[in-house]
Amino acid sequence: MRKFFTSGLILKLFGLTVFYFIDVAMISSGNNEMNKVLRSQQTPPFAHRITNELSDFEDFHYMKAGIESILARYDIKGASVAVARDGRLVYARGIGYADARSKEPVEPWHLFRVASISKLITATTVMKMTELNMISLDDRVFGPDGILNDSAYLRYTDRRFEQITIRHLLEHSAGWNRRFGDHLFMPHLIAREMKADLPVQVSDIIQFAMTKRLHFNPGSGRSYSNLGYAILGEVISNVTGMEYEDYVRQTILYPLGIQDMRIGGNLEEDRFENEVKYYEQYNSVRVRSVYDNKEEVFRSYGGNDITTLGAAGGWVASSAELLKLISAIDGKPGVPDILSPRSIELMTSAGPSGRHTIGWAGTDRRGNWWRTGSFAGTTAFVMRQNNGLSYAVLFNSSTYRGSSLSAEIIREMRNAFSRIKQWPEHDLFYHIDKPSDFYPDIAELRPN
């Protein structure tokens, strides 16, 4: 595993070395917006400058105690919690252990897998691309006139594939249900039928799906589909000419000052230097490795292909950086949004059931929006409330409750919020011990 350096000087020198030539080129071109992005890349991620002690306020005791009760109830090893109020990060702390064996405590800079919260990241990127007129929600994805029209994606057996649009993929209405399983979690079957090597690639999975008939006409129904968002990742890559992860980081995350969010790895040795370890329920069983037909492993390390999940479920993030993204797509005045009001409305419009949103898992009539994520070793939840509060809770352990654990998270957080007499005035998004060391142009990086 890569060594994690905590020295600000080493990090700063590394950043300056990596981006020196690019920075010089962009400065000479006069592209001020790109210069601002590159300067943000040259600094340590802001969460690395936040410690648990900065959130040791008496009024927040009930929040910490509430999350600790969930950890104890379900044998969850560690959690990361962040709270923003009117666009300011007022609370960010780790609870429990990033590594249970070594008793390493969780800190705000630890990265966690966020599972299907990744879909919100992908949906935000797609909506931004529509605003830039790079794509339209009604563009066809497959067929001779589709975005993915190379020969590998023209061998479909069902002509209805030609009807699938970007909107259908975003809304889980492209035509697949999970009656016969989830395409993203059947690598051995796909490898066998497609005569592909393990681990299977997203292109293998899409081609496998195209050998089967759709389960319903595109747009005529809805069924949650990881495959649809995996295809959106391929659409983003095809249209931009960049790898999906690279495009999202450079055009969505970096401009917001988010440097540490990225696609995760599959194995324990693939962890990033500041990434937690993952734990499953005590009675978890081993499954076949995504790399091998014979080796048996736990799902959290090699049993699920996190990297291939990518646009559908592969991102890792700290809770603080995740909230920075939420603050930029929440439709609230505290922080300028990166999406237009129209795009935000499209993403959060829903029927009476609160479903059929884009990227988000659901909304309610009071104006609260939420997104869940869970698979082996991971439980994640993010909430944007209508009262200016947003929060993210990330666990490095899975439970038998899966994403339904969110109801308990909501209850504990609501109880904690009701007991806070005075909210802090600080903004940990911009916490800096020595501003001159990191942000010589800090005023340019703050929201107007």
Which runs of consecutive H residues, i.e. helices, occur in 301-370? 306-313, 319-327, 341-348
Q: What is the pLDDT of residue 433?
A: 61
Task: Give the span between the Cα atoms of 338 and 346, in whole angstroms.
Answer: 14
Residue range 8-117+247-430 forms a domain whose CATH class is alpha beta
Residue 84 pLDDT more than 50?
Answer: yes
Helix axes 8-29, 32-41, angle to 10 degrees: 170
268-308 confidence digits (pLDDT tens): 999 999 999 999 998 999 999 999 999 999 999 999 999 99
| Backbone torsions φ then ψ of 412, nearest 5 degrees | -70, -40
448: helix, coil or strand? coil
| CATH superfamily of domain region 124-240 | DD-peptidase/beta-lactamase superfamily (3.40.710.10)
Task: Give the span between the Cα atoms of 171 and 291, in whole angstroms.
Answer: 31
Query: What residue ranges in 172-312 does DSSP mark as E strands?
Result: 262-263, 287-288, 296-297
Please give the mean pLDDT across all residues of the chain: 88
Residue 59 token pair: 């009024």
18-77 confidence digits (pLDDT tens): 333 333 333 233 344 445 454 445 578 999 999 999 999 999 999 999 999 999 999 999
Residue 331 pLDDT more than 70?
Answer: yes
Domain with CATH 3.40.710.10 in the chain: 8-117+247-430, 124-240
Strand ranges across the sheet with 378-384: 104-105, 88-99, 78-85, 389-395, 378-384, 369-375, 362-363
